[in-house]
């Protein structure tokens, strides 16, 4: 797989609430990981536009990220605004 455990730990450390590499459960960490994977799959689909299974996986990831962002927006608006700004997600 393209994502090593070191890279995941780096993503979690940069984007988690507690700034720990082992904080994989926070919403910010999950959103950051999904964003990284979405960007990777977008690049793949630019080269391989007929790969429908990858497109399906991409749409599922986008849906998961959207649900987590909706949760943050509903319950923790400050955290939502911070993660949107940090990751550069439009909305």
Q: Is residue 11 part of a domain?
A: no
Q: Is residue 9 part of a domain?
A: no
pLDDT at residue 91, as a whole number: 58
Q: Is residue 41 part of a domain?
A: yes
Q: Is residue 61 part of a domain?
A: yes
pLDDT tens by residue, 18-54:
666 677 788 888 999 999 999 999 999 999 999 999 9
- Name the nearest CA neighbour of 16 among 75, 66, 74, 87: 87
In sequence order, what DSSP letters do the residues of 47-60 get, joined into one string?
Answer: H-TT-HHHHHHHHH
Q: Is residue 15 part of a domain?
A: no
CB contact at 8 A, 57 and 42: no
Residue 73 above 90 pLDDT?
A: yes
| Cα atoms in the Cβ-side hemisphere of radius 13 Å centred on 15 | 28
Q: Residue 87 sits in which domain range?
A: 30-91
**pTM score, whole prediction:** 0.86
> Comparing 87 with 22, which gets the higher pLDDT?
87
Q: Give me the CATH number covering residue 41.
A: 1.10.287.10
CB contact at 8 A, 45 and 54: yes
């Amino acid at each position: 797989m393209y994502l090593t455990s070191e890279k995941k730990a780096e993503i979690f450390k940069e984007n988690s609430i507690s700034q720990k590499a082992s904080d994989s459960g926070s919403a910010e960490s999950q959103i950051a990981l999904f964003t990284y994977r979405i960007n990777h799959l977008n690049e793949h689909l630019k080269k391989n536009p007929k790969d429908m299974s990858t497109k399906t996986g991409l749409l599922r990831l986008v849906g998961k990220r959207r649900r987590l962002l909706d949760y943050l927006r509903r319950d923790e608006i400050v955290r939502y605004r911070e993660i949107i700004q940090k990751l550069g997600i439009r909305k």
